[in-house]
C-alpha cells in the first residue's frame, strides 16, 4: 500500500501542471458563463450552475466531498407559508472550503471587500453574488447586515466564515458575531458547518491556506495530495439564542465538538474587522472565502 501511494503521488506530481491548467481553464469558462448568463437566468438555474461548476472543479483537482448529516435546503414559499433561508457558520482553513460548500448547497458567501478587486477570483466572486463587507466601517456592516437579512428572507442560504481568517485547523478562533444578527432579526435558522480535509481518514494539511502561501503554491499542494477528501459536517440548527454572541459561541462549540478541535479561551468578538481574511496572506494571492 505504501509503495502504491508513493507511485500514485509521483504520478500526481507528474501531471500536476496539466491538472492546474485544466482547473484554470475551468475557472475562466465559469467566469465567462456567469458574465454572459447570470444577469438574466433565474435563481434556480444560477444555483444549479454554481453547484455543478464547483463539483467539476473538485473533480478536476482530485478532491472528494463527503457529507455528514443533512445539508440545509434553501427556504421558499410553500402554499401560503414562507420560510427563510439558513445562515451557515463554518470554520476556515482554506479557500477551497468555498467551492466545497458550494458543490453541495446553493450558498452565497460573505467576504471582505478587497476580494472584489482581485483579478479573476474577485470577478468570479462578484458574478456569483458574493456579499462584500468593508472592514472597520459601521455603516458598511449595517448595509451588509441588511443585505444578508434580505437574502435570508428570500430563502437563500448565506455562508460566513466567522473566524475572520484561515487557521492551521488545529483550533477554532473566536467567532465574530456581527453578521449573526440578521438571522436573529428574522428568526432564520443558524446552522454550524464543520469542514475538515483528510487523506485516508487522517487530518491533512494539504489544502490549508496559511502564512505567506500564494494561490499557485496552494493549488500545487492540493492537486499533488493523494486521496484528498473534504469532510462537510452539517450540524443541526442551534437552539434559539438570547443574542448574537451566544449564537456565535454555540455554533463554535458545536463545530469544535464535531471536529474534536480545541477552543481558544477568548471572548467572542463582535467586530467584522477581519471577515474572511487569509492569515498573513498577500492581497490578491487568493480568496479565502
pLDDT digits (tens, 9 = 90+) for 71-121: 999 986 444 457 899 999 999 999 899 999 999 999 999 988 877 777 666
Short-list 210, 197, 177, 216, CA closest to 278: 210
CA dihedral sign of residues 140, 145, 148, 153 = negative
Greater pLDDT, 165 or 247: 247
Residue 283: its pLDDT value, please?
A: 33
Instruction: Give the N- to C-terminal CA distance of the chain in Å, as an integer.
Output: 36
- How do residues 242-268 score in pLDDT, each as one tens digit? 899 999 999 999 999 999 988 765 544
Residue 76: its pLDDT value, please?
A: 66
Residue 239 grid cell:
437552539
Q: Where are the domains of the chain?
A: 2-263
Residue 24 grid cell:
484554470
The answer to whether the beta carbons of residues 276 and 144 sit under 8 Å apart is no
Segment 235-240 mean pLDDT: 92
Q: What is the mean pLDDT of the chain?
A: 85
Q: Where are the beta strands (DSSP E) in the chain?
A: 63-68, 76-78, 81-83, 87-90, 107-112, 131-133, 157-160, 171-172, 190-199, 202-203, 228-234, 262-263
- How do residues 12-53 score in pLDDT, each as one tens digit? 989 999 999 999 999 999 999 998 999 899 989 999 999 999
pLDDT reading at 276 higher than 50:
no
The answer to whether the beta carbons of residues 224 and 16 sit under 8 Å apart is yes
Short-list 46, 96, 100, 44, CA closest to 73: 44
Residue with the three cell numbers 483537482 = 61
Q: pLDDT class for 233, splitting at 50, 70, 90?
A: very high
Q: Residue 211: is it exposed, middle or buried by C-beta count within 10 angstroms (0-12/13-18/19+)?
A: exposed
Segment 220-228 mean pLDDT: 95
Short-list 67, 267, 266, 261, CA closest to 168: 261
Residue 119: its pLDDT value, please?
A: 66
β-pairing, 131-133 with 81-83? Answer: unpaired
Correct CATH for 2-263 of 2.60.40, 3.40.1130, 1.10.3470, 2.60.120: 3.40.1130
Segment 159-181 mean pLDDT: 90
Greater pLDDT, 143 or 270: 143
Segment 219-241 mean pLDDT: 94
Beta bridge pairs of residue 159: 88, 109
Amino acid at each position: 500500500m505504501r509503495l502504491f501511494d508513493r507511485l500514485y503521488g509521483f504520478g500526481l506530481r507528474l501531471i500536476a501542471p496539466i491538472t492546474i491548467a485544466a482547473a484554470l481553464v475551468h475557472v475562466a469558462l465559469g467566469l465567462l458563463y456567469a458574465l454572459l448568463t447570470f444577469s438574466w437566468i433565474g435563481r434556480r438555474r444560477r444555483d444549479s450552475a454554481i453547484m455543478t461548476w464547483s463539483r467539476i472543479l473538485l473533480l478536476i483537482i482530485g478532491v472528494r466531498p463527503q457529507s455528514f448529516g443533512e445539508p440545509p435546503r434553501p427556504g421558499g414559499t410553500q402554499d401560503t407559508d414562507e420560510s427563510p433561508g439558513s445562515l451557515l457558520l463554518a470554520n476556515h482553513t482554506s479557500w477551497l472550503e468555498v467551492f466545497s460548500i458550494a458543490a453541495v448547497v446553493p450558498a452565497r458567501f460573505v467576504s471582505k471587500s478587497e476580494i472584489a478587486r482581485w483579478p479573476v477570483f474577485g470577478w468570479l466572486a462578484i458574478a456569483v453574488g458574493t456579499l462584500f463587507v468593508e472592514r472597520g466601517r459601521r455603516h458598511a456592516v449595517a448595509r451588509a447586515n441588511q443585505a444578508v437579512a434580505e437574502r435570508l428572507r428570500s430563502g437563500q442560504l448565506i455562508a460566513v466564515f466567522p473566524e475572520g481568517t484561515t487557521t492551521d485547523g488545529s483550533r477554532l478562533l473566536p467567532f465574530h458575531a456581527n453578521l449573526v444578527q440578521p438571522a436573529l432579526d428574522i428568526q432564520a435558522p443558524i446552522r454550524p458547518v464543520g469542514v475538515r480535509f483528510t487523506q485516508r481518514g487522517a487530518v491533512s494539511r494539504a489544502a490549508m491556506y496559511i502564512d505567506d502561501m500564494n494561490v499557485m503554491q496552494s493549488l500545487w499542494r492540493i492537486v499533488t495530495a493523494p486521496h484528498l477528501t473534504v469532510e462537510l459536517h452539517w450540524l443541526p440548527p442551534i437552539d434559539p439564542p438570547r443574542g448574537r454572541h451566544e449564537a456565535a459561541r454555540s455554533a463554535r462549540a458545536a463545530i469544535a465538538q464535531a471536529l474534536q478541535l480545541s477552543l481558544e479561551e477568548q471572548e467572542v468578538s463582535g467586530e467584522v474587522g477581519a471577515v474572511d481574511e487569509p492569515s498573513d496572506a498577500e492581497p490578491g494571492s487568493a480568496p479565502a472565502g
